[in-house]
Structure 1
Amino acid sequence: MIEMQDVWKTYPNGTVALQGIDVRIKDGEFVYVVGPSGAGKSTFIKLMYREEKATKGQIVLNTFQLSRLKERQIPYLRRKIGVVFQDFKLLPRLSVYENVAFAMEVIEAPKKVIKSRVMEVLDMVRLKHKVRSLPDELSGGEQQRVAIARAIVNNPDMIIADEPTGNLDPETSNEIMSILHDINRRGTTIIMATHNRDVVNSMRKRVIAIEAGRIVRDEQKGEYGYED
């Protein structure tokens, strides 16, 4: 569960990115975060994994009080969260297997556990046949599937996806969404910032719309609601 109470974010240059955010997301939900460019969507999701820190207000993620979190505690928070980015952020000199395994090596998981779990999640994203490939040998959709495998390999409570279909064609976007839907059905909370109207309208989930730093709409089984 994640809860924000009267959350504000002001950047050092004076830009107010978020103002008075109140929201509660339950375990196991699938939530789209939509809105115009510059509305505050990225800031909203970065606050959840402490890439950014709120200027004012309270953010609680399960047992973590994010406003009181010390720097040394942030890695423990992030073990509970998997993050998927639009530009994949894969390590270019590591194979598919090594990119995913790296996330487990960081938390010092045993080698036997790493091998078993990495192969399990690569099977889940349908990439077992690409274990030895380097990122530049993969299509954009395959790279994003590796990024998803890396995000879920440590069994996080939550996946935060920032425009995960932004660089992908419609068919590949549908494949990525199918995988995210499967992960959600297994009980993982998914929060996804997106500009993809077709994805939002075809897979109806909760929609939180942000404009000028405020939540202006919060609907179950909502629509995208913006012109392209």
Structure 2
Amino acid sequence: MIEFKHVFKKYTNDIEAASDFSIKIDQGEFVYVVGPSGAGKSTFIKMMYREEKPTSGQIKINEFELDKIKGHEIPYLRRELGIVFQDFKLLPKMTVFENVAYALQVIEKQPTEIQQRVKRVLDLVGLADKADAFPNQLSGGEQQRIAIARAIANQPGIVIADEPTGNLDPDTAGGIMDILEEINQQGTTVVMATHNSGIVNQRKHRVIEIEDGHIIRDQRKGGFSKNE
């Protein structure tokens, strides 16, 4: 589902954020992307949803070739992805229900289907009772759950999460991980960038470690390395 072949990414200041990335992530995998700040994790994540374009090499997400994709095709790529950000990116003037429904309205789903899907994903993240609340009435953990609900409302095959537990206390972070692991058990591929060593060490999944723009480790059921 996700394949990088000899991918390089160099920024205008000559910083090489990706040096010969060659990696394949199969359907249904749960993958942590780890490494220190500035290592290249965010670049790796952003290239998957075409926020960043590789300088050279090939990236394939399902049937999309991201190194060749046209601008008008990018929205269709992103319809197949669920993207979860550390800062939630909820729309403050919309209710919880409206935030999640909006993701379906922009792809022109029918109102009846939107109602059903929003209810289903709010039930999944345990916040059906907050449907009429606004984001500023929710805790950070609740806002992140809503961000996940919005990301999975369109039943994407891949969820990409960039530091989804970064601003949360350990108990709340554990609840977010429960949701991501449940989604994964239902067949969704999850790729999660994280600094959280406790989560990576306790909840074992594949680990891709990036340092100075290089993939230095790709380990099944790995943990954080000692130098992290």
TM-score, with length taken from structure 1: 0.99
Distance 2:78 2:62 in 1: 12
Report the secondary structure of 1:100's partner residue.
helix
Distance 1:169 1:156 in 2: 27
Partner of 1:224: 224
* AA aligned opposite 2:46: K
Report the secondary structure of 1:144's partner residue.
helix
C-alpha change, 1:226 and 1:44, in structure 2 (3 Å) is farther
Could you tell me how far 1:62 is from its partner in structure 2? 1.0
Partner of 1:51: 51
Could you tell me how far 1:226 is from its partner in structure 2? 4.4
Could you tell me how far 1:12 is from its partner in structure 2? 2.0
Report the secondary structure of 2:28's partner residue.
coil
* AA aligned opposite 2:59: I
Report the secondary structure of 2:191's partner residue.
strand
Distance 1:224 1:162 in 2: 17
Partner of 1:104: 104
Report the secondary structure of 1:190's partner residue.
strand
Could you tell me how far 1:204 is from its partner in structure 2? 0.2
Partner of 2:38: 38
Question: Could you tell me the percent identity over the aligned residues?
Answer: 58
* AA aligned opposite 1:4: F
Partner of 2:142: 142
Partner of 2:87: 87
Distance 1:17 1:217 in 2: 16
1:130-176 CA deviation, whole Å, 9 max, x = no partner?
00000000000000000000000001010000000000000000000
Report the secondary structure of 1:221's partner residue.
strand
Report the secondary structure of 1:59's partner residue.
strand
Report the secondary structure of 2:221's partner residue.
coil
Runs of 4+ deviating beyond 3 Å: none
2:170 aligned with 1:164: no
RMSD over aligned CA atoms reads 0.8
8 Å contact from structure 1 (residues 35, 226) kept in 2: no
* AA aligned opposite 1:63: E
Gaps of 5+ in 1: none
Distance 1:156 1:86 in 2: 19
TM-score, with length taken from structure 2: 0.99
Distance 1:157 1:48 in 2: 13
Query: Residues 124-139 of structure 1 correspond to what in structure 2 (within 5 A)?
Result: 124-139=124-139
Aligned residues: 228
Distance 2:216 2:109 in 1: 43
Distance 1:226 1:136 in 2: 39
2:182 aligned with 1:182: yes
